[in-house]
Amino acid sequence: MTFRDVRNAIYPLVGISAILLIWQLYTHFLGINRIVLPSPLDILWASISNWDVLLRESWPTFLESVLGFALAVAIGIPFAVCVANSRVLNLTLYPILIATQSIPKVAVAPIILVWFGLGMQSKLVIAFLVAFFPIVVDTAAGMRATPVGLLELARSLRASSLQIFLKVQFPAALPFIFAGAKVAVTLAVIGAVIGEFIGSVGGLGNLLLTANSQLDSPLAWAALIWLSVLGILLFGAVVIAERIVMPWSDVGHH
Amino acid sequence: MQADIFRRRLLCLRKQAIQSHAQLDPQGRANSAPVPFGHFKDVHQSFKRSGQTPLVAIKNITFDLKAGHLVTLLGPSGCGKTTFLKIVAGLISASGGTIQINGRDVAEPQPDFGVVFQQANLMPWRSILDNVLFPMEILRRSDAAAKLRAQELLALVGLEGFEQSYPSQLSGGMQQRVALCRALIHKPKLLLMDEPFGALDELTRMEMQDLLLDIRVKTDATVMFVTHSISEAVYISDVVAVLSKRPSVIADYIVVNLPYPRSAEIRYSAEFTDLEHRAGRALGITR
């Protein structure tokens, strides 16, 4: 560990600790009701004493987010490739995509629930819907941002369209695709929770609602913390995937 | 099959003819001479502009290119020399005229040409070795022999040991050397270079010019080189075709008879400065 690593780790820790300390002191000395605002220690205690419930309820939320995100990647990237490379498809589909994107997902969620039921599928579909857009938009932007010089080089060798796509266009778009994926994966978690809020029998969103209705604020906050940890873990997984797929982006610059 | 053999024999004969007989012919009086390696006649290029008369970039370029020679297109910025090079590369099509290389009309990119651009245009996601091998992959000839040749070329330009590095780890001059190796990997008949050293600093540039002279000896490629540097043109060329301002024509056709091997000392010789003067006069800089 170098000095820089230490510094990069210490500063955020100091910041978080300071906020938690002020929060703890504030709730303690002003006698804030724990239903209104539980103290950090209350939340920690709720997290520890309910760890089995939290872990159990995390699993469906995790699955819904990951599967919805995976579906968005699997459908979104090929979709964006087609839209970016075909004028006709671009003109036909892009306005529809923008129009559907402007509909609030919360408003669509009840309809999705009617179609797919209270189980996991409906949440997966909502997670997919919110994750789909950033992946498509960023991938399409990446497909169009291929450096002209590289295209000219490929053309000077009379490369086929497939060769140009596989060897030039797609690798050049990877940084864009990963930028979209990072946004999409955190949105997928939000999508899953929206679904659970509208109607579900399990998941962290469901737990949060239940705890709230029972005025068990410490547990509701604990569920919230677990949700954010889930989001951070998924984001981190995409960052790690990016490093593995794009080792060149990590090397030192001259 | 039969036709293929016949064509190859014809090419072989033609090559012999070129070697035994070819005489440079600046005025394009090619009627009596055998077919030269490169033949450009009345090449014309104009671009349509909405609501205006077409912009004539190239009015008339006519000259012949001898096999194994290095010809430089020297001209001011915006004179259409890069346009001409791209026409020869088959990347854009001329509005009119004849462009023949090796007896073939050039109307589209030729896989047996190598192109070096103003920018190195390396792929950041590929290692140096894989960047050099890119043309072989496109031509589906990437095998062990190609890899060996790539390593030899990298060693030739002084980049041994950088095979597994990424482009972002290399300086501009080093990147341009990689681009040169990439252009040479498939043993091109014609090497087209579009101001390849223009973005480099003066010292690196002179180093690259020596490197190019060295590589020519080892690969005997025919080279067409675009530049706006008079001294660069005189130093590396067998022939300097000076292009006028737009609409461009050939203002002068200078045969450089400086001896090989050339080294930096030659830049200070009287013959060298005379040639520079002549090019300067053709460009309208000196009198």
Task: Name the phi and psi angles at B177, rounded to 5.
Answer: -65, -40
**The predicted structure's pLDDT at residue B7:** 55
- Measured between beta carbons, the chain B residues lying within 8 angstroms of A252 are 169
Q: How many CB atoms lie within 10 A of CB A116?
A: 16
Number of helices and strands in chain A (H, E) = 11, 0
pLDDT recorded at residue A104: 87
- Element holding B60 (H helix, E strand): strand B55-65
The Cα B102–Cα B82 span in angstroms is 21
Give the residue from chain B lying closest to A146, CA to CA: B123
| Contact criterion met (CB < 8 Å) for B169 and A252 | yes
What pLDDT was estimated at residue B80?
87
In the numeric block, which tokens belong to residue A252?
Answer: 């030192």
- What CA–CA distance (Å, rounded) separates A79 from A93? 10
Same domain, A117 and A28: no
pLDDT at A41: 93
What average pLDDT does range A73-101 have in this prediction?
Answer: 91
B124 contacts in chain A (CB < 8 Å): 248-249
Domain range holding A67? 36-250
B126: number of Cβ within 10 Å: 18
Residues A97 and A191 in one domain: yes
Give the one of A150, A158, A251 whose C-beta lies nearest to B109's C-beta. Answer: A158
CA distance B256 to B232: 12
The count of structural domains within chain A is: 2
Are A41 and A20 contained in the same domain? Answer: no
Q: Which pLDDT does position B18 carry in this prediction?
A: 46
Whether residue A72 sits in one domain with residue A7: no
Task: With CB atoms and an 8 Å threshold, state whether A150 touches B121.
Answer: yes
- Which of B89, B91, B125 is the closest to A246 by Cβ? B125
| CATH for A153 | 1.10.3720.10
Q: Are residues A97 and A165 in the same domain?
A: yes
- Give yes or no for B138 touching A (CB within 8 A): yes
Residues A25 and A40 both lie in one domain: no
d(CA A84, CA A146): 11
- Provide the 8-state DSSP code for B161: T
Cβ atoms B18, B36 nearer than 8 A: yes
Would the CB atoms of A157 and B123 count as touching at under 8 Å? no
| Cα(B23)–Cα(B19) distance, integer angstroms | 9
Question: Same domain, yes or no, for A164 and A195?
Answer: yes
Handedness of CA B63, B182, B202, B76 (dihedral sign): positive
Calculate the alpha carbon distances from A218 to A40, A65, A89, A248, B232 in Å.
9, 24, 51, 45, 76
Contact present, B45 and B80 (Cβ < 8 Å)? yes
Contact A156 B171 (CB under 8 A): no
Q: Same structural domain for residues A146 and A226?
A: yes
Q: In this structure, are A12 and A91 located in the same domain? A: no
**Cβ within 8 Å of residue B257, ≥6 positions away:** B271
Question: What average pLDDT score do residues A209-220 get?
Answer: 92
CB contact under 8 Å between A154 and B138, yes or no, is yes
Is A156 within 8 Å of B115 when comparing Cβ atoms? Answer: yes
Give the pLDDT of residue B232. Answer: 94
Mark whether A12 and A67 lie in a shared domain.
Answer: no
pLDDT in tens, A94-135: 888 888 888 888 888 899 999 998 889 999 999 999 999 999
ipTM of the complex: 0.81
Q: Rounded to the nearest 5°, which phi and psi values hold at B254?
A: -105, 120
H-helix or E-strand spanning residue B19: helix B2-21
Taking alpha carbons only, the member of B75, B81, B94, B91 closest to residue B242 is B75
Contact call for A168 and B123, based on CB within 8 A: yes
Q: Are residues A3 and A49 in the same domain?
A: no
Return per-residue pLDDT of chain B as tens, 287 residues.
455 555 555 554 444 444 444 444 444 444 445 678 999 999 999 888 888 888 888 999 999 999 999 999 999 988 888 999 999 999 999 998 899 998 889 889 998 899 999 999 999 999 999 999 999 999 999 999 999 999 999 998 999 999 999 999 999 999 999 999 999 999 999 999 999 998 888 898 999 999 999 988 888 789 999 999 999 999 999 999 999 988 888 999 999 999 988 988 999 999 999 999 999 999 988 77
Read off the pLDDT band of A229 (50, 70, 90): very high
**Together in a domain, A9 and A42:** no
